[in-house]
């Protein structure tokens, strides 16, 4: 989730401005970049409990410890709530204190993986100084909702009040989940359309490959990706499958119409988040937004609103892949490598498009519904999601090889980063299933060992 950024006070007077905003993201292939984001849980090493914002160890103290020449503090109402890097990267807080790195736009997976490692090294070092730890999982395996300390960010207060009106698990999404995602570019509207369709169709496969959230409040929850299940009962207005992406006529304008029809959360003015939850951005564009009568939205209002839609693939001036659980270091590099291999090489993109070209929305939706519990074992047509993943990884492998981006240090190409995914497909076992086996055997039906065995 986003923090306030540089403001664009241009008034929104027509829908064409919103369409043009997305279209302005088009880039020639030579300028395509990779932006990786990942979240992780912070915990007290003595008790495995969540960190409060204040105190020691505390979230505020960790942000302060990371501040310096590389990271400039971002304040809200006097509280440090994020860090901004000169290269375009940022560190921000999710509602329950999850630490998120939003990486800089980088040229290859070697660079983005190096960025991940550098960031985690910094966070681990800062945590050790104060008696904290950090771990990458899709859902917190131990904490209850009432255990969570909410972060002092105005938008989260509004969302926390609104979420229970729309679904039963929205507060869990905000406070007890972590994800890894990658943001990728497109060259034209036609290119965007194909990439969106590939990404939406294959997102359930990614969810299965990265399934890493089998526990709730100390017990198995019956899911392999409980994080993925949570999105099915968060807010139907802004989550779920997007059938219109697969329809004739999909493009920038159709996406803008979709976002315009998603109810608003807030308007940010002069450092204050104003609650307009449930109200219409279309009314705002007509000067009829309650509380802001006679005022028109700015482009910053629009870009803020775009961050409040939560499908598993989201279009801005780039495409966000949002279907994966958080996980260990290797997975944080594997996720961008997977999608880069599929849609940043023309041959691989065509091969991926051929794989999904006759899939129906009903089939994709059924796969998406099955993978939270069954992951690689979920049925799809005459086989399983594991069969789909095996084929897709072959395509990805070819795409990464043809990109031929070699590491300056090792001389290896980017295919090295999808090795954890090959291992999952070969074994048929996800990280979640490995944890469940450990829980029932050497962990003696306790989730506490996760915090030591899987910490960064």
DSSP states of 89-115: -EEEE-TTS-EEEE---BSSHHHHHHH
What average pLDDT score do residues 297-318 get?
98
The verdict on residue 5 lying in a domain is no
The verdict on residue 184 lying in a domain is yes
The verdict on residue 277 lying in a domain is no
User: Quick one: pLDDT band at residue 7, thresholds 50, 70, 90?
Assistant: confident
Q: Report phi then psi at 298, rounded to 5.
A: -100, 170
What average pLDDT score do residues 223-227 get?
98
The verdict on residue 293 lying in a domain is no
The CATH number given to whatever domain includes residue 358 is: 3.30.590.20
* Residues 6 or more apart whose Cβ sits within 8 Å of residue 102: 35, 37, 89, 90, 91, 92
Tokens (6 digits) for 447: 């989730």
Q: What is the pLDDT of residues 422-441, one digit of tens each?
A: 999 999 999 999 999 999 99
The verdict on residue 8 lying in a domain is no
- Judged against a pLDDT cut of 80, whether residue 4 lies above it is answered with no
Q: What is the pLDDT of residues 170-190, one digit of tens each?
A: 999 999 999 999 999 999 999
Q: What is the pLDDT of residues 382-401, one digit of tens each?
A: 999 999 999 999 999 999 99
Helix axes 346-356, 385-403, angle to 10 degrees: 160
Q: In this predicted structure, what is the pLDDT of residue 257?
A: 98
Q: In this predicted structure, what is the pLDDT of residue 3?
A: 43
The verdict on residue 288 lying in a domain is no
The verdict on residue 272 lying in a domain is no
Q: What is the pLDDT of residues 56-81, one digit of tens each?
A: 999 999 999 999 999 999 999 999 99
- Judged against a pLDDT cut of 60, whether residue 342 lies above it is answered with yes
The verdict on residue 93 lying in a domain is yes
Domain that holds residue 396: 15-262+309-453
Beta-bridge partners for 379: 384
Count structural domains, the chain. Answer: 1
């Amino acid at each position: 989730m986003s923090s306030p950024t540089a403001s664009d006070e241009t008034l929104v007077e027509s829908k064409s401005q919103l369409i043009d905003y997305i279209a302005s993201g088009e880039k020639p292939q030579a300028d395509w970049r990779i932006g990786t984001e990942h979240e992780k849980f912070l915990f007290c090493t003595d008790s495995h409990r969540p960190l409060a914002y204040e105190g020691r160890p505390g979230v505020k103290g960790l942000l302060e410890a990371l501040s310096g020449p590389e990271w400039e503090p971002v304040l809200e109402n006097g509280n440090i709530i994020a860090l901004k890097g000169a290269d375009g990267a940022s560190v921000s807080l999710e509602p329950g204190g999850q630490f998120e790195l939003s990486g800089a736009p980088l040229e290859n997976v070697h660079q983005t993986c190096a960025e991940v490692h550098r960031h985690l090294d910094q966070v681990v070092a800062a945590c050790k100084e104060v008696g904290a730890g950090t771990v990458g999982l899709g859902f917190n395996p131990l904490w209850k909702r009432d255990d969570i300390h909410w972060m002092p960010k105005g938008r989260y207060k509004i969302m926390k009040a609104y979420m229970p009106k729309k679904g039963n698990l929205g507060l869990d999404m905000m406070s007890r989940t972590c994800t890894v995602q990658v943001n990728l570019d497109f060259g034209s509207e036609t290119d965007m359309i194909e990439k969106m369709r590939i990404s939406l169709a294959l997102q359930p496969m990614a969810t299965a490959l990265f399934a890493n959230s089998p526990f709730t409040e100390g017990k198995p929850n019956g899911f392999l990706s409980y994080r993925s299940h949570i999105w099915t009962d968060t807010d139907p207005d802004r989550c779920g499958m997007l059938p219109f992406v697969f329809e004739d006529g999909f493009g920038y304008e159709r996406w803008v119409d979709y976002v315009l029809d998603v109810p608003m959360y807030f308007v940010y003015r002069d450092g204050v988040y104003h609650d307009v939850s449930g109200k219409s951005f279309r009314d705002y564009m007509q000067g009829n937004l309650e509380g802001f009568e006679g005022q028109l939205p700015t482009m910053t209002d629009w870009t803020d609103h775009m961050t409040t839609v939560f499908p598993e693939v989201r279009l801005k001036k780039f495409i966000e892949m949002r279907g994966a659980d958080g996980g260990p270091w290797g997975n944080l590099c594997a996720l961008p490598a997977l999608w880069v291999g599929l849609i940043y090489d023309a041959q691989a993109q065509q091969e991926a498009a051929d794989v999904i070209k006759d899939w129906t929305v009903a089939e994709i939706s059924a796969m998406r519904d099955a993978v939270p519990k069954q992951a690689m074992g979920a049925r799809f047509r005459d086989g399983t999601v594991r069969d789909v993943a095996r084929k897709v990884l072959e395509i990805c492998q070819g795409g990464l090889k043809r990109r031929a981006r070699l590491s300056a240090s090792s001389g290896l190409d980017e295919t090295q980063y999808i090795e954890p995914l090959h291992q999952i497909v070969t074994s048929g076992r996800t990280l979640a299933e490995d944890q469940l086996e450990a829980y029932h055997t050497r962990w003696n039906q306790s989730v506490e060992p996760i915090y030591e065995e899987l910490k960064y």
